[in-house]
Chain A
Amino acid sequence: MALTGIEIYKLLPKTNCKQCGFPTCLAFAMKVAAKAVDIALCPDLSAEAKQALEAAARPPIRLVTVGAGERKVEVGNEVVMFRHEKTFYHAPGLMVRVEDTTAPEEIGKIVEEVASYGVERVGMQLGLDGFAIDNKSGDAAAFANCVELVKSKSDLPLVLMSNDPACMSAALEKVATGKPLIYAATKDNSDKMVELAVKYGCPLAVCASDGLGELAELTEKVSNGGVEDIVIDPGARDFAQSLTTLTQLRRLALRKSFRPLGYPIITFPGEAAASPEEEALLAGQQIAKYAGIIVLDHFSPSVAYPLLTLRLNIYTDPQKPIQMTPGVYQIGAPKETSPLCVTTNFSLTYFSVAGELESSAWASWLLVCDTEGLSVLTSWAAGKFDAEKIAKSVKEFDVAKNITHRSLILPGKVAVLRGELEEELPDWKIMVGPPEAMDIGGYLKQHWTA
């Protein structure tokens, strides 16, 4: 946990030498506590003090990397319980489980399907993050072969699942350079698993389902054995258990700075679910409530797309809505007689409107006003999307130069702005479009004559 100014002051030389640029050590300490200046400005900081400050600066939940290269997954290092308090930083990795008892052709098919899956949303390309390979067979050679097969089809990060160190070792020989997550060290095998994690420099999952005390004890043992990159599995499987345990873990890390449990969490929503649909719902809960890596037993686009959308929603920075640059956008190849619509610069609003115009094959002009990233109704309610603002944008971006007509289509939700806008833009005909983007195509068909 971050130190207070007084705690930092106690670690300083207390000479008031002023070399840091502040009149006293205390004043300097206060600035350091407020994160306004760097502690390194103090020229006489002792080694012990440096160490204490570094330890205090360590994040309460360790950032752990699974995989290597471009598609590696970084999880942990969260600093709040609720996203509105700041933001959630590292979106959980969504992995798909394959079992080494499944026929190789089948595995090849699933891996290719998952690895090539991608879906676009608000201009971002979303996809799944890797595979968890389960040593169901209990056989080292079968496990190693399966791991090799998956590796040959995809370079996405891997979780290797086996409680047998010999099997784990055989698999690691094939793929250790990809820095897979070793799952898992238990109270029965932890020495050997630690050995493997140290040898190959891979992150290690620690699993204990008999209470957080046992889990904490085991992570301390693993950490003392030289493994720092730890992911924890508290064994919570069902909806209620998962919510309770993962909440308690996040609280322990953030409120108590409890190091032995300050690690990202891996979950298996399929293990308690009666159907793929229920698995999807539990995965959804775990996206919002504190999972770091989520291993799914089933993959289908109709499940992946909603889950990826949810993850994007929850991990959007509440302070920074995704925004479009204000201006005039061309949808398709608009002509001077094409319709002109106006909307806000909230990315989602933009993409809904642009998407509908595109899919209904209306080449058009779309004027995007600066509403600080708020949607139509929200920005209107906040006074950031009014007649004055729209009129200003019409002039600022010289919308008229593109078109021969003078018709502007307002979003239906702000129909009330029509009158005022007619006063602001006396040469223009103000039209009121539909309240929902998806009705734009039908609306234009009925009302637009150019």
Chain B
Amino acid sequence: MSPVEIPMEKWTGKVHEVRLGGEGRKSIVVGGETTLPFLHFEGSIPNRVAVAVEVQDKEPADWTASLVSAWGDVLRDSGAWAKKAAEFGADIIALRLRSAHPEEGNTGAAEAKAAVDKVLSAVDLPVIILGPEVAEKDNEVLVAASEVARGQRVALGDCVEKNYRTIAATAIADGHVAITKTPIEINLAKQLNILVSDIGVPVDAILMDPTTGALGYGLEYSYSVMERLRLAALQGDAMTAMPMICTVGEESWRQKEAKVAQGVPASWGDHEQRSLLWEELTALSLINSGADIVVLRHPEAVEVVKATVNRLMSEV
């Protein structure tokens, strides 16, 4: 038999390992790869891709019926919701402080503290806390959340180009992890990681969100930017070597294909299966391009994506 020599890449870089949780809370480590996703034959992939489940601090008014019925009554109570998410297999709870948004209730620090406290007491999983994505409110509620979660090493997000100082400083002060978010662009991602490092966040306390484009809505941009970021990391660029987090559920379920059941072309097929696949295919594609954490919405997607990651982790 003619021998076939497989070309191997000799990467010099390594994705930073970032730990969430601890001190009585379950802890999880993401990152640490020394090769591209799941290429076990040429490098080490010490940590499994983590599945975070999105929990909101108020009942979502705009969720599609199939998503609402999959969760049921717990959507009204973030603590119960987090508990249920843990039962469904969540590795991490991603709490979105949505009620702080000026158009969603404009709640403040006190409500944020209560919501975070509720989730932290309901489950012993590691937690990610996301603001309403309005700079002023992010600063207000994330600082409050950070204080309540002191010692629990949660991830706080998002640090964005125009507003990163307060959140990053809070993460440093309370020993948390900071999430940097940039709009699908490799240089902006790197630059923000540098800025956040410069003010003192250690590299093992940064996750980066390169922004998720859902299937059919810019997925290919996220896919390629993430591949490029990961290649740069493996080539030794420490400022692109942060583990990547993707808000897959949020982006997938906002698209018409996932959201709308009636009045769409018959060729779109069964709504239930189509919407689930929309989330799952977005997740798997981004996992294959380097995601270390995917934030999901549908319980069934959680199960399927976890099972798929396990299959990909088994060495050939």
Instruction: Name A's B-contacting residues (CB within 8 A).
Output: 82-84, 117-121, 211-214, 216-217, 220, 238-241, 243-245, 247-248, 251-252, 255-256, 258, 260-261, 277-278, 280-281, 284-285, 288-289, 300-307, 309-310, 312-314, 316, 318, 348, 352, 355, 359, 375, 377-378, 381, 436, 438
Complex Cα gap A306–B40 (Å): 29
Q: Chain B residue with minimal CB distance to A241? A: B316
When the two chains form the complex, which single residue of B6, B254, B277 contacts A248, counting CB atoms closer than 8 Å? B6
Q: Are the C-beta atoms of A310 and B281 separated by less than 8 Å? A: yes
Q: Chain A residue with minimal CB distance to B283? A: A281
For B267, what are the chain A residues with a Cβ–Cβ distance below 8 Å?
Answer: 117-120, 301, 305
Q: A238-B311, A239-B312, A252-B6 are in contact. Are A84 and B228 (CB under 8 A)?
A: yes
For A288, what are the chain B residues with a Cβ–Cβ distance below 8 Å?
Answer: 223, 285, 288-289
Q: Are the C-beta atoms of A119 and B268 separated by less than 8 Å? A: yes
Q: A306-B278, A313-B220, A348-B217 are in contact. List 4 more A-B contacts (CB 8 A).
A: A82-B227, A252-B4, A284-B281, A289-B288
Complex Cα gap A245–B183 (Å): 33
Complex Cα gap A255–B289 (Å): 20
CB distance from A435 to the nearest CB of B (A): 10
Complex Cα gap A304–B277 (Å): 10
Complex Cα gap A91–B183 (Å): 28
For B37, what are the chain A residues with a Cβ–Cβ distance below 8 Å?
Answer: 243
Q: Are the C-beta atoms of A309 and B215 separated by less than 8 Å? A: yes
Main secondary structure on B side of the interface with A: helix
B23 beta carbon closer than 8 Å to chain A = no
For A278, what are the chain B residues with a Cβ–Cβ distance below 8 Å?
Answer: 304, 307-308
Q: Are the C-beta atoms of B1 and A217 separated by less than 8 Å? A: yes
Q: Are the C-beta atoms of B311 and A217 separated by less than 8 Å? A: no
B27 beta carbon closer than 8 Å to chain A = no
Q: Are the C-beta atoms of B268 and A243 separated by less than 8 Å? A: no
For A217, what are the chain B residues with a Cβ–Cβ distance below 8 Å?
Answer: 1-2
For B215, what are the chain A residues with a Cβ–Cβ distance below 8 Å?
Answer: 306, 309-310, 313
For B312, what are the chain A residues with a Cβ–Cβ distance below 8 Å?
Answer: 239-240, 243
For A352, what are the chain B residues with a Cβ–Cβ distance below 8 Å?
Answer: 217, 256
Instruction: Name B's A-contacting residues (CB within 8 A).
Output: 1-7, 37-41, 183-185, 188, 215-221, 223-224, 227-228, 231, 254, 256-257, 259-260, 263, 265-274, 276-278, 280-281, 284-285, 288-289, 304, 307-308, 311-316
Q: Are the C-beta atoms of B219 and A302 separated by less than 8 Å? A: no
Q: A240-B40, A258-B4, A314-B220 are in contact. Are A438 and B316 (CB under 8 A)?
A: no
Q: Are the C-beta atoms of A213 and B316 separated by less than 8 Å? A: no
For B271, what are the chain A residues with a Cβ–Cβ distance below 8 Å?
Answer: 302
Complex Cα gap A117–B274 (Å): 16
Q: Are the C-beta atoms of A213 and B3 separated by less than 8 Å? A: yes
Q: Are the C-beta atoms of A305 and B268 separated by less than 8 Å? A: yes
Complex Cα gap A310–B281 (Å): 8
Complex Cα gap A301–B265 (Å): 10
For B183, what are the chain A residues with a Cβ–Cβ distance below 8 Å?
Answer: 377-378, 381
For B220, what are the chain A residues with a Cβ–Cβ distance below 8 Å?
Answer: 83, 313-314, 316, 318
CB distance from B314 to the nearest CB of A (A): 5
Q: Are the C-beta atoms of A303 and B4 separated by less than 8 Å? A: no
Q: Are the C-beta atoms of B216 and A309 separated by less than 8 Å? A: yes
Q: Are the C-beta atoms of A277 and B6 separated by less than 8 Å? A: no
Q: Are the C-beta atoms of B269 and A281 separated by less than 8 Å? A: no
When the two chains form the complex, which single residue of B259, B269, B284 contacts A285, counting CB atoms closer than 8 Å? B284
Q: Are the C-beta atoms of B314 and A305 separated by less than 8 Å? A: no
Q: Chain B residue with minimal CB distance to A314? A: B220
CB distance from B258 to the nearest CB of A (A): 10
Complex Cα gap A25–B40 (Å): 47
When the two chains form the complex, which single residue of A212, A281, A289 contacts B304, counting CB atoms closer than 8 Å? A281
Q: Are the C-beta atoms of A213 and B1 separated by less than 8 Å? A: yes
When the two chains form the complex, which single residue of B221, B228, B254, B268 contacts A302, counting CB atoms closer than 8 Å? B268
CB distance from B289 to the nearest CB of A (A): 8
Q: Chain B residue with minimal CB distance to A243? A: B38
For the complex of A and B, 9 pairs with smallest distance between CB atoms: A302-B269, A301-B269, A119-B267, A302-B274, A302-B273, A313-B220, A302-B270, A84-B224, A239-B311
